[in-house]
Amino acid sequence: MINIHELTLKSFNDHLNKKSFTALEAVQGYFNHIKDSDKNIGAFLSLHEDQALRVAEATDLKIAKGEKVSPLAGAPLAIKDNLLIKDLPATAASKILENYTASYDATVIKKLRAAGSVFLGKTNCDEFAMGSSTENSAFKLTRNPHDTKKVPGGSSGGSAAAVAAHMSLGALGTDTGGSIRQPAGFCGVTGLKPTYGAVSRFGAIAMASSLDQIGPLAKNVEDVAQIFNVIRGQDSYDSTSVDHKYNEEKLLNPKLEDVKKIRIGLPKEYFAHKLDPEVTKGIEEAISKLKSFKIEFKEISLPHTDYALAAYYIIMPAEVSSNLARFDGIRFARRNNALENSKNLEDFYREERGDGFGGEAKRRIILGTFVLSSGYYDAYYAKAQKVRTLLKQDFDEAFKEVDVILTPTSPTTAFNIGEKTSDPLEMYLSDIFTITMNLVGVPALALPTGATTSMPVGFQLIGKHFHEEDILGLGQYYEKLGK
């Protein structure tokens, strides 16, 4: 008997076309599994059975008629709750949006819908995607499926946990400073932050617009490539999206001879950082496995790495303070009767925004407003943008020597729930290996090392702008090495 929860997207599609099961049966099976398993994990904020079952029935009808269906047809996916699906809640895990229902589809949702994908529900995340552990959600706690005493990572912790616990075949998340890759590493799944501009951000609730990117999570690299191939492309609703002509054959069916030509760089600044012993073991095993594949390695330098974290935590809050100004408690669904009970508009804003935003959101709004304020803009924000330029130059120089850069995803494995909540700086350090890719806009793939450790260890393959086929191809062959 086929266990649908153990399937990959590829094998799911194969069995669906062979009529081993129907899409309706599969989706019903996933909802039953979620109802049993999610009590302990807390990956989903909302489930939407009626809409999902209608889509599954439509897929079955097409197959029954002998029509060709997309590789993602009938595939049960989980969607992070800061991405809009028409007529469904979109809370971004914040009280200030707890009553908001989306009035349109995000572009990535339109594309997946056209491919016949099934949206099981919306997943938990840190409020407005601000966090590294999914502990900042206003609604619930999400736990790591490998050890429920530990965090799943953040901010896309719900999406990563849903895939890791076999509650969805794949998922969408957003990545502003590592929010796809770090939870993928903690939960032992695969996640891609595409090149900035490769995927439309239209319909994503913005956190930091020059850093945000939507990307897929799945059980393996092949599935991630399949989802990316559907959601990529220019969009007239997003002026930052780019019409780049990807080679679909290289994305989905990489050739061994092309992969073996890839040169991998190891940045000495990243490996000088103190790593947990299990992370060191996993990364060393990953490098050793790739070296056995006769791939060329070279030590490189990214000299301004030490300034990346500081620059990020100036640029990101500045953009947060601007983007979150629209959430005033009046638009995007009213929360209570504060307007009627307030003496004036200032009192209303104090009550609505004060109660509606959580502690981390307030911290970043205040910090961002400060660095943009008169007298401080040049001292902080303008200087951080100059550092960003230097970081980009570092990567441009490095990519003259190598094609792909390999680094750890995080300095530690998943940490205990509550371990870092009292120390924001310690929490921010969880993203030390991921934020630079957002600052410079390059694509990065996080995948499990496959090493035998107590908790999953992830590593990153970082590519040149719009060279996702390099990191996805290398990642697919890395997985084949482990079989």
Active site residues: 80, 155, 179
- Count Cβ atoms within 10 A of the Cβ of residue 469 and give its class: 0-12 exposed, 13-18 middle, 19 or more buried: buried
DSSP-assigned letters across all residues of 253-310: S--HHHHTT-EEEEEHHHHTS---HHHHHHHHHHHHHHHTTT-EEEEE--TTGGGHHH
> Rounded to the nearest 5 degrees, what angle is found at the Cα of 195, between the Cα atoms of 112 and 360?
85
Report how far residue 369's alpha carbon sits from residue 381's, in angstroms, rounded to the nearest whole number.
Answer: 11
- Residue 57, SS3 per DSSP: helix
- Residue 440, SS3 per DSSP: helix
Beta bridge partners of 98: none
Structure tokens at 138: 């206003």
**Phi, psi of 437, deg, nearest 5:** -65, -30
Report how far residue 405's alpha carbon sits from residue 302's, in angstroms, rounded to the nearest whole number.
Answer: 11
> Rounded to the nearest 5 degrees, what angle is found at the Cα of 10, between the Cα atoms of 154 and 162?
25
Within 8 A by CB and 6+ apart from 286, the residues are: 406, 449, 450, 451, 459, 478
Does the bond joining 155 to the residue before it have cis omega, within 30 degrees of 0?
yes
Report how far residue 331's alpha carbon sits from residue 127's, in angstroms, rounded to the nearest whole number.
Answer: 18
